[in-house]
Amino acid sequence: MSADPQRGPLPAWSLPAGETDRIRIATQWPEEVTREWAWGGATGAGVRVCVLDSGVEADHPLVGGLAGAKVISLSPEGEVVVADDSEGDVVGHGTACAGIIRGLAPKVELWSVRVLGAGATGSGPVLMEGLRWAVDQGFDVVNMSLSTTKSQFAGVLHELADSAYFRRTLLVASAHNMPVESYPWRFSSVISVGSHEEEDPFTFYYNPEPPVEFFARGVNLDVAWRGGGRIRATGNSFATPHMAGICALVLSTHRELIPFQLKSVLYLTATNVGGDR
């Protein structure tokens, strides 16, 4: 039975007999998924990556320019304001993340969304609205080297993470190494990242004991910092942009991948799975 031409095609939550052509899959997966197939020769070209952080210093040599920068704040009445950001980076941290992504995927289109500066008490809503804005823009990858412990935001963050997942926006979020509940890294719709101690930026491990799903380079890194400088740094927040950069490479090679397929590619190419092939 085909769709009634008077009504247009049926919504995609059912599959009538004879309609399987409608859901034909473009990607031809090889018998063995290798890193060469996944991102061999890729530069990240055509992929839009957003760094949700402390801002990014656009003219830092390791960042190499931004396509755009926004700042999220709260008005005195508590309204969310999204404005162009000319402050650069108020800490240095966002610049470090952007520099790591650029180093792995030199041709990505980088964006900055600054969610810092509203004070600690306004941090929850600002973080959430920053993510909402990023999801609305349809970025391919959003790097979130941050989290919140406030359960009042967990529900909305969960919904945002799910809508990002179905809209092909991949959220890559830092896991927590302390005994508290925090979000959004615990959601299965995001890629959660912890640290390993090795030096190769392309070494990453799949963790068979979730909720942390991947470990990437996060210890003793030479990273970009505020004022055109560099700093040696450690933290899961630097492992996260490594996975974000690798995701950008895969997406620039295979544009059609949706988040769960991309996560499968990451699994199959992880250093402890098939990454040495």
What are the two backbone dihedrals, phi and then psi, of residue 183, each rounded to the nearest 5 degrees?
-135, 155
Residue with tokens 């999220």: 72
From CA 201, how far away is CA 107, in angstroms rounded?
17
Q: How far is the CB of 214 from another protein (least distance, A)?
A: 15
Q: How far is the CB of 4 from another protein (least distance, A)?
A: 51
List the x/- string, 179-218, binding to another protein by CB under 8 A: xxxx------------xxx---------------------
* Residue 232 near another protein by CB under 8 A: yes
For the chain, the residue count is: 277
Query: Does residue 45 interact with another protein by CB under 8 A?
Result: no
C-alpha separations of 135 from 76, 164, 209 in Å:
25, 6, 28
**Amino acid symbol at 208:** P
Smaller CB distance to another protein: residue 36 or 222?
A: 222
Instruction: Give the interface size with another protein as a residue count (CB under 8 A).
Output: 45
Give the footprint of another protein on residues 73-92 (CB under 8 A): 90-92
* x/- letters, 98..127, toward another protein (CB under 8 A): ------------------xxxxxx-x---x
* 134 versus 265: smaller Cβ distance to another protein: 134
Answer yes or no whether residue 2 interacts with another protein by CB under 8 A: no
Token pair of 19 as six digits:
């309609």
In the complex, least distance from residue 127 CB atom to another protein, rounded to whole angstroms: 8
Sheet holding 170-174, edge to edge: 80-84, 68-74, 109-114, 48-53, 141-144, 170-174, 191-196, 214-217, 205-206
